[in-house]
Amino acid sequence: MIWALGPDAEVLGPEPLRAALVERAAATAARYG
């Protein structure tokens, strides 16, 4: 899953990464849910 966030995931750190996952999940839910 992390690979889907792109190459910046490693340098973002845990908090921005968590926020990105939440945003991606929300976008996916809005698109398919």
Please give the structure tokens belonging to residue 6.
Answer: 């792109």
Max distance between CA atoms of the chain, in angstroms, equals 31
Question: Locate tokens 């990464």: which residue?
Answer: 17
- Cβ burial 9-33 (10 Å sphere, 16+ → b, else e): beeeeeeebeebeeeeeeeeeeeee
Name the band, by pLDDT with cuts 50, 70 and 90, for residue 30: very high
Which residue segment(s) compose the domain that 8 sits in?
3-32
20 touches 1 (CB < 8 A): no
How confident is the model at residue 26, as a pLDDT? Answer: 92
Is residue 15's pLDDT more than 70? Answer: yes
Q: For residues 26 and 33, what is the distance between their CA atoms, to the nearest angstrom?
A: 9
Total domains, the chain? 1
